[in-house]
Structures are given as structure tokens and as C-alpha cells.
Amino acid sequence: MDFSIRAANLEDCKDISRMILELAEYEKVSDKVKVTQKDLEQDGFSKNPFFHGIVAEVPEQHRTKEGHSKIGYALYFYTYSSWKGRAVYMEDLYVMPEFRGKGIGKALMSKVAQLGLAAGCNQLDFTVLDWNKSSLDFYIGLGCLDVTVEIGYHCMRCQGEALQHLAQP
């Protein structure tokens, strides 16, 4: 299938927002999504962006029946590992279901890896749901390591009231 991968721009935020909701629905957490198209525009395309993105796009003849040509995306940002130095964190990797199995997800992830290496990163980090066997198999097939199994790390989060409480002096 013919597709291209390119850097996301401000005009892509509407489609990225749509696909974020599709991903959340797939992951059965639609009620957790609070980010809006406006948030994406501000947070990704301001003077000091909090994230970067890439999109997968198909030519007009391969558009979805709804008319979408942007059919996948990845969001990422740079971070730092106290063991390895520079790192890139991939927040999302998503390809619309009807376009899966065509190399688009691998191409998106490969592009994030290329961008990370170009920025001097030594590792690519991301999370995947424990029940998502097809994604786990996909990542392991690419040579990725499940650090929860291999090293014993758990991904932790502090949010909402707990974050507010933690921030109190």
C-alpha cells in the first residue's frame, strides 16, 4: 500500500485528536481522554512544544470511506535516562484498524527511532497495555524489551488530587 510518513503540523491536530479518541476507544479508556484539538495545537506547535508528532498519510484513492487520508500517527518527546543518557519516549503509536498489517505502524515507529538517534538518543521508551497481545507481539518482534518482565520496573503515575497533594510544601 502506498503511504507516506511526515512531520505533523498544526493543521493535522484535528485528525490527531480524532485518532487519539479512536485509540482510547480501542484501549477501552475513552472516558480518560481530556486533551482537545486546541490543547494539541498549543502544546505541540508553540514556541516550546511539549511533544512532537508524525503522521501516516495515504493518497486520495486510498482514503477511508469517511474521507480520511491521515490514517496513523505517533507522538513522542525527548527525555533523559540516568543510566543511558538521552532518550525518546513514544507516547502514542496508532494506525486505523483497516490499515494495520501493511507496514505503517512499523514505519511510524522506525521514524521515531530515526529521529531519536539523530538527536543523540540511546533508547526508545513506551508503554503497552498488558492485555494487548497483538501489540506486545509486534513490539517484541521488532526487538523491543519488556522491562516489566525483564527488569521488574513498573510504570507509575501521580495525578489529580494526589498530584495536588504531593505538590504542597
Are 100 and 80 within 8 A, CB to CB?
A: no
Band (pLDDT 50/70/90 cuts) for residue 149 is confident
For the chain, percent of residues with pLDDT exceeding 90: 92
Q: b or e along 51-62 (b: 16 or more beta carbons within 10 Å of the residue's beta carbon)?
A: bbbbbbbbeeee
Indicate whether 151 pLDDT > 90.
no
What is the predicted pLDDT for the residue at 118? Answer: 98
The question of whether 139 is a catalytic residue gets the answer: yes
Give me 94's grid cell. 496508532
Question: What is the share, in percent, of the chain residues with pLDDT greater than 70?
Answer: 100
User: Is 90 exceeded by the pLDDT of residue 67?
Assistant: yes
- What pLDDT sits at residue 9? 98
Determine phi and psi for 88, rounding to 5 degrees.
Answer: -120, 135
Catalytic entry in 78, 89, 139, 153: 139
- Average pLDDT for 129-135: 92
- The domain ranges of the chain are 4-126, 128-169
Query: Regarding beta strands 70-81 and 52-57, do their DSSP bridges make them parallel or antiparallel, or are they unpaired?
Result: antiparallel
Whether pLDDT at 153 is above 90: no
Cell of 129: 497495555
Query: CA 105 to CA 99: how far, in whole Å?
Result: 9
pLDDT band at 17 (very low <50, low <70, confident <90, very high): very high
> What confidence score (pLDDT) does residue 156 get?
86
**Tell me, what's the pLDDT at 38?**
98
34 versus 155: which is more confidently predicted?
A: 34
Assigned C-alpha cell, 80: 533523559
β-partners of residue 43 are none
Average pLDDT of the segment spanning 30-58? 97
pLDDT at 155: 85
Each residue's pLDDT tens digit, 103-125: 999 999 999 999 999 999 999 99
Distance between CA 14 and CA 38 in Å, rounded?
9
Mean pLDDT of 152-168: 91
CATH number corresponding to 4-126: 3.40.630.30
Query: What number is the average pLDDT over the span 48-65?
Result: 96
pTM of the model: 0.93
